[in-house]
Amino acid sequence: MDPDLALLLNGIVSGLLLGGLYAAAAAGLSISFGMLDVVNIAHPAFMVLGALLVALLWGATGIDPLILSVLLTPAFWALGAAIYVVYHHFFERRGDEAIQGLAFFFGVMFIIEVGLVLAIGPEQHFADAAYAGITWRLGEIDLPLRMLVPALVAFAAIGGLALFLRRSFTGRAIAAVAQDREALRLLAIDPVRIKRLAFGISIAMAALAGGALVVVQPVDAWSGHVFIGRVFAVVIMGGLSSLGGCVLAALAFGVVENVTASFYGPSWSPAVAFGCLLLVLAIRPQGFFGRVA
């Protein structure tokens, strides 16, 4: 095969796998930012918190990192619910969401990150899954399990989430919070309770994403920063509240980034990816894959 073509194909495939990780990271944000209108810029910080906790627990127990991250989800759900209560009490209720709310999450992000540095130090942590060293080969295309397994777990979690949102009563109520508050009132559902639940879910998704992240790459306290732009980019390109759009956008984003990195060097990939987002914002703020409201 032409080496350029092989490079391109490999770039696309590993971009798709990377996209799986981005999808996991962005799915939670698609709920909080896309559906609940809570601009949680600390979302990647929660993901990193999850990743580092998984790394520490893995070091102590040796259990598979992805299983550990699933075990962490209830605690993260509770944490998310608690944070939403604070956010609602101080900002949403007062109608001061815009600037103050943004600043609140900005501060929360810093507290998490710096807290992590103070607690476990600034160095990188990792968690090796049993399959981390294995790479499947399809012709000239590599499929490292280190990337493939987290991506599959992420898609499974997102699929489950999508089913929950579409089929269950509570899930539909969450979707309704985004679209039609009046309907909720008619059904005598307390929107604050629903939003608390949903925000908890979004943070629980961050824990899962953290587990996936720490399998893919070593993580330090500041690893979240490079994800802030990415996850918001993915959610916006995906059309905010659509999980399917979010996954498609994540895959596209992963491919663009990875192919750029393969051909022009990794230091250019952020600029290309974020340049895309800037263009999306400037031209089509409702996203590429979302339904037009």
Closest approach of other proteins to the CB of residue 287, in Å: 11
Q: Which two tokens stand for residue 146?
A: 């280190």
Residue closer to other proteins, measured from CB, 102 or 132: 102
> If we measure between CA atoms, which residue out of 11, 54, 247 comes closest to residue 151?
247
Alpha-carbon distance 219 to 286, whole Å? 32
Name the residues that contact other proteins, by CB under 8 A: 33, 39, 41, 86, 90-91, 94, 96, 98-104, 106-111, 113-115, 117-118, 122, 225, 228-229, 232-233, 236, 267-268, 270-271, 274-275, 277-278, 281-282, 285, 292
Residue closer to other proteins, measured from CB, 3 or 95: 95
Closest approach of other proteins to the CB of residue 172, in Å: 23
Residue closer to other proteins, measured from CB, 58 or 91: 91
Closest approach of other proteins to the CB of residue 152, in Å: 29
| C-alpha separations of 10 from 7, 19, 23, 32, 258 in Å | 5, 14, 19, 33, 9
Residue closer to other proteins, measured from CB, 64 or 257: 257
Q: Which helix (H) or strand (E) holds 178?
A: helix 169-179
Q: Which helix (H) or strand (E) holds 203?
A: helix 191-216
Q: Which two tokens stand for residue 182?
A: 């009046």
Closest approach of other proteins to the CB of residue 79, in Å: 15
> If we measure between CA atoms, which residue out of 139, 153, 206, 197 comes closest to residue 173?
197
- Residue 267: CB atoms within 10 A of its CB come to 9
Closest approach of other proteins to the CB of residue 275, in Å: 6
Residue closer to other proteins, measured from CB, 90 or 155: 90
Residue closer to other proteins, measured from CB, 155 or 274: 274
Q: Which two tokens stand for residue 203?
A: 């943070």
> If we measure between CA atoms, which residue out of 212, 222, 235 comes closest to residue 281?
235
Closest approach of other proteins to the CB of residue 48, in Å: 14
β-bridge mates for residue 137, sequence order? 142
Closest approach of other proteins to the CB of residue 116, in Å: 9
Closest approach of other proteins to the CB of residue 270, in Å: 5
Q: Which helix (H) or strand (E) holds 227?
A: helix 225-237
Residue closer to other proteins, measured from CB, 74 or 122: 122
Helices and strands (H, E) in the chain, number of each type: 11, 2
- Residue 179: CB atoms within 10 A of its CB come to 12
Alpha-carbon distance 222 to 52, whole Å? 11
Residue closer to other proteins, measured from CB, 76 or 104: 104
